[in-house]
Amino acid sequence: MSDIPKNMISESGRLLVSALLLRGGVPCRQGKDGFDLLVTLERPRRNWQILVTTNLRPKKAGAGKTALDWWVPKTRKSHYIACVDLDTLRAWLFRRSEFEKLSQQQAGGRFHLYMYTDKAVALRGSKAMKFDYEFESYRLENRLDRGVFDKE
pLDDT digits (tens, 9 = 90+) for 81-95: 999 999 999 999 999
- pLDDT tens sequence across 42-56: 877 889 999 999 999
Specify the pTM: 0.88
Q: Where are the domains of the chain?
A: 6-145
- The type of residue at 113 is L
Into which CATH architecture does domain 6-145 fall? 3-Layer(aba) Sandwich (3.40)
144-147 long-range Cβ contacts below 8 angstroms, 24+ apart: 144/20, 144/21, 144/24, 144/25, 144/26, 145/24
Length of the chain: 152
Burial of 142 per CB tally in 10 Å (0-12, 13-18, 19+): middle
**Could you tell me which residues are beta bridge partners of residue 139?**
92
Task: Check: CB of residue 131 under 8 Å from CB of residue 143.
Answer: no
